[in-house]
Amino acid sequence: MKISIIGSGAMGSLFGGKLASAGHEVMLYDIFQEHVDTINSKGVEIEELATGEKEIFKPSATSDPAKAADADVLIIFVKSTATEAVSKQFKAVVSGNPLVITLQNGVGNEDILRKTFGGENTAAGVTSQGATFAGPGKIRHAGNGPTYLCISEGDNSRLAPLIEALNQAGFETKVEENIGNLVWSKLIINVGINALTALTGLENGRLVDFEELKEIMKDLVSEALEVAQAKGIHITYPDPLATVYDVCVKTAKNRSSMLQDFDRGTMSEIDFINNAIVREAGKLGIQVPVNKTLARLVKSLDLHHQEEKA
| Residues with catalytic roles | 186
- In 43-154, beta strands by DSSP E: 44-48, 54-57, 60-62, 73-76, 99-102, 122-127, 130-135, 138-143, 147-150
- Spatial distance between the Cα atoms of 83 and 87, rounded to a whole number of angstroms: 6
Burial label, 58 (beta-carbon count in 10 A; 0-12, 13-18, 19+): middle
Contacts of 137 (CB under 8 A, 6+ apart): 35, 38, 39, 42, 43, 44, 45
- Spatial distance between the Cα atoms of 48 and 19, rounded to a whole number of angstroms: 16
Contact 147, 128 (CB under 8 A): yes
- Spatial distance between the Cα atoms of 157 and 153, rounded to a whole number of angstroms: 12
Burial label, 310 (beta-carbon count in 10 A; 0-12, 13-18, 19+): exposed
- Spatial distance between the Cα atoms of 256 and 287, rounded to a whole number of angstroms: 26
**For strand 173-175 and strand 122-127, is the pairing parallel, antiparallel, or unpaired?**
unpaired
Single-letter amino acid, residue 46: I
Q: Give which of 9, 41, 8, 49 is closest to 26, Cα–Cα.
A: 8
Contacts of 293 (CB under 8 A, 6+ apart): none
Q: Report residue 277 CA to chain centroid gap.
A: 17
